[in-house]
Amino acid sequence: MVPLKSVWERALPIFIGIVILSIPAQAQAPGQTFTIPSVTAAAPPKIDGTLDDPAWKTAAHVLLQWDISFQRPATEATDAYLLVDKKYLYVAFVAKQKEPVIATQHTNDQPMPNDDAVRVYFWPGGDSGIEYGFVSNPIGTRYQFSAENTSFSPAWDSVAKTTPDGYVVTERIPLNVMRGDGRSTWRVQFDRRVRAANQTFEWAHDPAQGGTDASVYAGYLHGMTVAGQGTRTKPRIGIYGLGQYASAASGGSTSRIGADLSVPLTQTSSFVATFHPDYSNVELDQQSISPTAFPRRFNEVRPFFTQGQNYYNGFNCNDCIDYPLLYTPAIPTPRDGFAIEGKQGQLTFGALDAVGISRNDAAQSLSWQSPNKKYQALYQRVAVDVPGIHDITEWYQGVAGNVHNFNAYATLGAERGSLIADAPQGRYREYGINLYTPKSGLFAAYHDVGSQYGPLDAFNQINDVHGPSVYVFKEFDNKPSSFIQSIIVSQDLGRMRNSMGALNDAYDSFYVTVATRNQLFLGWSSGDTWLNFGPGAAGEASQNGIQLTYGFNTSTPTTFTYNVGRFGAGFLRSPSLATTVRLTRRGSLTLQAFKTDQALDNGARNIQWLERASVGYQAGPGESFAIGWRRIIGAGPTFFGPSQFLNATNVSFAFYKRMPMAEIYFAYGDPNLLNTQHDVILKIIQYFGAEKGT
């Protein structure tokens, strides 16, 4: 372990350097105001992937002239157009592109991180309102998202056509799927991603912004009274019917019915409920053998919890300990669930109640942000009741800053109830400061977590930690024609002791990444960590390694990683190889081989393999197939204590079809179990009223 003095001697020049880099060389001139009028369409324009319809000639027109990825003028031309009538917004993009056009996604309603894409963002409620985003790739495949609901999936239209020098996208977006407060001026932003060059062009921009979808840096869309004020009052109910044919070992055959409900309470808030929910068809393959001394964290996949996750865990944290504060995968699938979610003025709020058999999990959140976004106050409460246990945890946070390059925060929390014998030991405290520019940053914090803190519905890594941490990074960008496009250097340092003064959680990690113009990516990491989980369970992890990826940020990457170093009671080597190859224009094959090889100090050896293969086929805009095979065999690495030997194989199959107001799932097995679950499921969901996620 690196001694304390040498750690902070190394940190000091980095600290000073980042602070200097975070100060602008000269005072920035006031940002340009980007505004457009809402031009009313005399007749709806054709949505055909061209601008041949004369209606487009009357549209509001903007140019995407800034590359936010490299903080420089855009190297290629992008024009965006916007029209509106009483029912729809009409948006068009004309993109000129020298690089090959990349469009591999053929199924709607899925993120498109590896394709060229154009995006338009709306905030019908202004700076403090709900954000809506609509994305299309160069072949018209569409995706959408909303801060209102992570399941936001309304029907809208996108038609695209490639041209000799780029592509054209035309879109029709219903107004009644977005919620506003009746104002006539919305916030709006347009951007375009060029995947082969790792560039993102945007319309409204400011030297201080770090992303394209921040409302405070977006433009203004005036005169939206014609749009019916963007309100939406229609309730939604989704009723599912399920038939399951299964072996006795998998629970036996069954059939069931259930429902999800959403009822608007105001223009910007809703009551949400679920009755007899079933999540048998939405599991993701999250199995891994990646070595970690902490509990493994899983992504939430159940709609009742995912749809409202934007309303929780909005706290600032640096080198986050025991986060997220509400970890819904710890909550068993409830019998019924109820929630209220929404915004009202400067307030954002959420409350949920998951009612199970002999168990109740509840959470509430409330946050306020000043109109100029310089000040923020947050509150969150989580409570769990099971037989013999009553557990309540509350957190408060205050944030102050200037929006552009500085803020500071303080978080005060405490767990109480039947699990806490000594009230001060249930505390959770963190104090932090952030200095940043779009290409550099310093994020420091002091952590103070009591020895008994461990909420049942939070993600708990380690408690009884008291001490500082600091993370710094700097990005260096080159010219558009350079082989090396960017280099990012980062350093993370932390040193925390327990209440007895012993070193409890300390780390010193250095990371360098290099991205090139030909989609080659190189990462190198070096670091050392000391963890103390109690008598006989303290030790070092010094995993150092490399990552080499070809096809970085494409849908067909090949990645090799190799890590080596101490891991608790032994020396660990971990090579991994993963690749995705295209079988057809719509189908792909993904293969992975991952090995962990731990030589223990006592002469024993733990060797484990993970082998994975999957085939995906995008049959159409609303239809997809997937089949997966995974095997884990051997004894996994252990920080201290016995290792678990596994010999598990899982095979699963899934078919999904989306229709305007319905969904069909047909599945065999569950990809997130260790061994194959021998059951076949057919599930049909019918929506009434509003569309899915709206």
Check: CB of residue 498 under 8 Å from CB of residue 447: no
> Residue 625's closest CA among 592, 664, 674?
664
Q: Do 77 and 96 meet the contact criterion of CB atoms below 8 Å apart?
A: yes
Spatial separation of the C-alpha atoms in residues 398 and 299, rounded to whole Å = 27
Could you tell me the domains of the chain?
Answer: 31-230 (2.60.40.1190)
Residues 6+ apart with CB under 8 A from 369: 128, 346, 348, 375, 376
pLDDT digits over 366-380, tens only? 999 998 889 999 999
What is the rounded distance in angstroms from the CA atom of residue 269 to the CA atom of residue 676?
41
Residue 21 has pLDDT above 50, yes or no: no
Mean pLDDT of 485-509: 93
Q: What is the pLDDT of residues 106-153, one digit of tens each?
A: 999 988 888 999 999 999 988 888 899 999 999 999 999 998 888 888
Residue 575: predicted pLDDT: 96
Its sign, for the CA torsion 115, 116, 120, 123, is positive
| Residue 607 near residue 596 (C-beta atoms within 8 A) | yes
Angle 607-506-312 from CA coordinates, rounded to 5°: 90
> Among candidates 260, 336, 304, 310, which has minimal Cα distance to 132?
310
Beta bridge partners of 25: none
For the chain, percent of residues with pLDDT exceeding 70: 93
The full length of the chain comes to 694
Cα gap 415→426, rounded to integer Å: 5
pLDDT band at 523 (very low <50, low <70, confident <90, very high): very high
- Which SS3 state, helix, strand or coil, does residue 134 take? strand
Percent of the chain whose pLDDT exceeds 90: 59
Q: Is the pLDDT reported for residue 28 higher than 50?
A: no
Contact 21, 473 (CB under 8 A): no
Query: Which distant-in-sequence residues (6+ apart) come within 8 Å of 483 by Cβ?
Result: 516, 517, 518
Mean pLDDT of 555-571: 93
pLDDT at residue number 690: 81
Q: Are 323 and 313 in contact (CB under 8 A)?
A: yes
- For residue 637, the 8-state DSSP code is P
Q: What is the DSSP string of 577-608?
A: EEEEEESSSSEEEEEEEEEEEEEETTS-EEEE
The pLDDT assigned to 482 comes to 87
Q: What is the pLDDT of residue 554?
A: 83
pLDDT value of residue 164: 94
Residue 164 tokens read as 């000799």
| Mean pLDDT along residues 281-298 | 74
Quickly count: other Cβ atoms within 10 Å of residue 23's Cβ.
Answer: 10
Give whole-number Cα distances, 227 to 55, 61, 464, in Å: 18, 19, 55
Query: Is the CB of residue 54 less than 8 Å from the CB of residue 47?
Result: no
Checking if the pLDDT of 93 tops 50, the result is: yes
Furthest C-alpha separation in the chain: 81
Residue 354: per-residue pLDDT: 95
Structure confidence at residue 404 (pLDDT): 86
pLDDT tens sequence across 181-194? 888 999 999 999 99
47-61, 110-124, 298-312, range with the lowest pLDDT = 298-312
Find the helix or strand (DSSP H, E) in which 5 lies: helix 4-22
Cβ atoms 192, 65 nearer than 8 A: no
d(CA 534, CA 499): 12
**Cβ atoms of residues 212 and 193 within 8 Å:** no
- The structure tokens listed for 59 are 């549209």
- In the chain, helix, strand, coil percent, each to 5? 10, 50, 40
Q: Is 621 left (phi over 0), alpha (psi -120 to 50) or beta?
A: alpha
Bond into 535 cis (ω within 30):
no
201-223 mean pLDDT: 89
pLDDT at residue 5, rounded to an integer: 42
Q: Which residues contact 603 (CB under 8 A, 6 or more apart)?
A: none
pLDDT at residue 447 is higher than 60: yes
What is the pLDDT confidence band of residue 409, given thresholds at 50, 70 and 90? very high
Average pLDDT, the chain: 88
Chain centroid to Cα 588, Å, comes to: 24
For the record, the structure tokens of 393 come out as 């945890």
Q: How far is CA 207 from CA 24, 32, 66, 191, 316, in A?
A: 10, 10, 10, 16, 23
Give residue 421's pLDDT band: very low, low, confident or very high (50, 70, 90). Answer: very high
Q: What is the mean pLDDT of residues 230-243?
A: 76
**CB neighbour list of residue 58: distance below 8 Å, 6 or more residues apart:** 39, 41, 42, 83
What would the 3-class secondary structure string for 544-562 be?
Answer: EEEEEEECCCCCCCEEEEE
d(CA 159, CA 172): 9
For strand 679-689 and strand 570-582, is the pairing parallel, antiparallel, or unpaired? Answer: unpaired
Mean pLDDT, residues 12-36 taken together: 50
